[in-house]
Structure formats: C-alpha cells, structure tokens
C-alpha cells in the first residue's frame, strides 16, 4: 500500500512511522522542508508526496490545521484522481468536511472526515510514535453514513495504525461532542494553572493537580484555531460550566452546607451515570 501524508507533526508523523514500520510505502509533504528531511533521515518517509504521486496513493491523510487542510484540498483536488481515499485528521470537522465534500463531488475523488482521538501535550515529528493510535478511537465522518463499502474500505486502509474502534458520525455532532470532551477540558486546564497559588504548589499536589493541569501544556496556535472554528459549541459548554460553578460559589459564600452537599452529590451521581463507576 502507498500512503500519502500531509503534515509531519505529532499526528502525521505517527502515521508515517506506523505505516512505514509495517512495510508500507510512505510519501509525505510538509511545508517545513526540514521536518520532511528529518522524517526521511529517520526512515519513516520514502519520498515526496508530489502532485504526480497523489493519484498513485491508496490512502492520503491530511494532518494539518483546519484552514491549512482546506487550502491543501483546494489546491490539490484536481490531482487526486479516483484511486485514493482522502481523509483529513483535523480536530474540528464542519468547515473541513464542507470543503472536502464539495471538492470531492466537483473533482471525483473520495473524501472522508476523520479525527484520530489520540495525542500528547507534545507536538512535532520527534514526539511522534508508531504506537500513538494503538487501541485509540478513530472518528469517521462520511458524506453518506450508509456507504458501508466506503467505511469498510477506510477501516481496512487504516488498520495498520491499530485503532481500537471506529465511530461514524456527522460533522455537526462531532464538533458538538468534541467541544465538551476535549476543547472545554483544555480551556479549563489552561485557565486553572493561572492561579497565583500555582507558583507554590510543590509539596502540596498529587494526582488531582496532575489530572487538572496535564492538557494546559498545549500548542497555543493549534488550539486557538480549533476553539475559534468551533466557538458556537464551545461557548455553549463554557456558559454551562460557568453557570454550574456559580452555584458552587453561591453555596459556599452563603455557608450553605446542605446546598453544597446537594451539588456535590449531584456531580458524583452524574459521573456514575455517565461512566458507570
């Protein structure tokens, strides 16, 4: 199999490493020539993903920021041909899928939205790993959710990455869910660490602190773009959280023990209902 990869950061680099490690031919492009050269030197990339090479690929993975993914699709759509399945790997889906579906219809190539639910707080090819996707979920966003043949082919092509499960959804549902499960957590963590007390935490912090602050260490440019691309969904989640926090604050300010217990019990019950433990 020949796999084309656009973008050799953490996600694209991990795809390059795992596909190459399993004996597939990997062609790649990165706007940063030094990133491409390093991937070739590392041994994860066999050659350049040129315009001529695009229609030879079985699978093309676009692992860059949403706006850059759209620009790449717009520029290269006439050259994909009918052989490859083109999948973007962006953290939001609506704007990329809207562009991808329209261009695929115009030029006759096959496009799927995708989001590998894996990552670390590090970025760049040097932190990429051939095991990053092992047992992780992969979300697919097809134009037609009933195209079982296409979904089966996509899962087959992505099998070397080792995903644990595949989920199929719409772009709108993906973005609504990801605002809660991922983006809100990054906002809260990033804001939480700004407390002046954080400078003095050593010796007083354990698991709770580590859990809350892990994703504060993020890529600011990438996450800012993702937040703004999905701001309607994320603002709804933020408004809900602020409203919930205000109830806790009011209960404590009023020394209302029973109200605080009720709030805490409700949160504990919700956790048990949602996650089963």
Task: Say which CATH number the domain at 150 has.
Answer: 3.40.50.720
Over 70: is that where the pLDDT of 229 sits? yes
Residue 276: which pLDDT band, with cuts at 50, 70 and 90? confident
CATH number of the structural domain spanning residue 224:
1.10.3660.10
85, 206: one domain? no
3-state SS, one letter per residue, for the chain: CEEEEECCCHHHHHHHHHHHHCCCEEEEECCCHHHHHHHHHHCCCCEECCCCCHHHCCEEEECCCHHHHHHHHHHHHHHCCCCCEEEECCCCCHHHHHHHHHHHHHHCCEEEEEEECCCCCCCCHHHCCCCCCCCCEEEEECCCCCCHHHHHHHHHHHHHHCCCEEEECCHHHHHHHHHHHHHHHHHHHHHHCCCHHHHHCCCCCCHHHHHHHHHHCCCHHHHHHHHHHCHHHHHHHHHHHHHHHHHHHHHHHCCCHHHHHHHHHHHHHHHHHHHCC
156, 180: one domain? no
Burial category of 177 from C-beta neighbours within 10 Å (exposed 0-12, middle 13-18, buried 19 and up): middle
Over 70: is that where the pLDDT of 277 sits? no
How many domains, in total, are found in the chain? Answer: 2
71, 137: one domain? yes
Query: What is the pLDDT at residue 206?
Result: 76
Show which of 169, 184, 201 is a domain's final residue: 169
158, 263: one domain? no
116, 155: one domain? yes
Over 90: is that where the pLDDT of 119 sits? no
Given the structure tokens 């019990």, which residue do they identify?
265
Residue 211 belongs to domain spanning: 174-275
22, 141: one domain? yes
257, 135: one domain? no
Query: What is the pLDDT at residue 78?
Result: 97
Show which of 149, 169, 189 is a domain's final residue: 169
| Selected residue with higher pLDDT from 202 and 229 | 229
189, 269: one domain? yes
57, 152: one domain? yes
Q: What is the mean pLDDT of the chain?
A: 95
Average pLDDT for residues 108-119, to the nearest whole number? Answer: 95
Over 80: is that where the pLDDT of 205 sits? no
Average pLDDT for residues 250-276, to the nearest whole number? Answer: 95
Show which of 139, 169, 199 is a domain's final residue: 169
216, 85: one domain? no
Paired with 87 in beta bridges are: 61, 112
Tell me the per-residue pLDDT of 70-106, one tens digit each, with 9 for 90 and over. Answer: 999 999 999 999 999 999 999 999 999 999 999 999 9
Two tokens, residue 6: 């656009």
25, 145: one domain? yes
Over 80: is that where the pLDDT of 168 sits? yes
Residue 123: which pLDDT band, with cuts at 50, 70 and 90? confident
181, 132: one domain? no
């Amino acid at each position: 199999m020949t796999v084309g990869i656009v973008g050799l950061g953490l996600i694209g680099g991990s795809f390059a490493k795992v596909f190459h490690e399993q004996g597939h031919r990997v062609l790649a492009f990165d706007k940063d020539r030094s990133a491409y050269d390093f991937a070739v030197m590392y041994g994860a990339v066999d050659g350049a993903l040129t315009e001529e090479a695009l229609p030879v690929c079985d699978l093309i993975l676009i692992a860059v920021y949403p706006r850059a993914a759209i620009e790449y699709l717009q520029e290269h759509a006439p050259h994909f041909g009918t052989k490859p399945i083109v999948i973007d790997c962006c953290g939001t889906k609506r704007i990329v899928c809207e562009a991808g579906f329209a261009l695929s219809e115009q030029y006759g190539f096959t496009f799927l939205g995708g989001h590998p639910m894996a990552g670390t707080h590090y970025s760049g090819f040097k932190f990429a790993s051939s095991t990053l996707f092992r047992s992780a979920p992969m979300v697919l966003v097809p134009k037609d959710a009933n195209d079982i043949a296409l979904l089966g082919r996509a899962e087959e092509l992505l099998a070397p990455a080792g995903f644990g499960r595949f989920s199929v959804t719409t772009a709108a549902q993906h973005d609504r869910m990801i605002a809660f499960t991922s983006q809100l957590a990054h906002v809260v963590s990033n804001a939480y660490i700004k407390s002046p007390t954080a400078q003095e935490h050593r010796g007083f912090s354990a698991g709770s602190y580590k859990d809350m602050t892990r994703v504060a260490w993020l890529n600011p440019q990438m996450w800012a773009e993702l937040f703004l691309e999905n701001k309607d969904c994320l603002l709804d989640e933020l408004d809900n959280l602020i409203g919930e926090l205000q109830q806790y604050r009011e209960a404590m300010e009023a020394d209302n023990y029973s109200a605080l217990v009720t709030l805490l019990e409700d949160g504990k019950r919700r956790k048990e209902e949602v996650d089963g433990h």
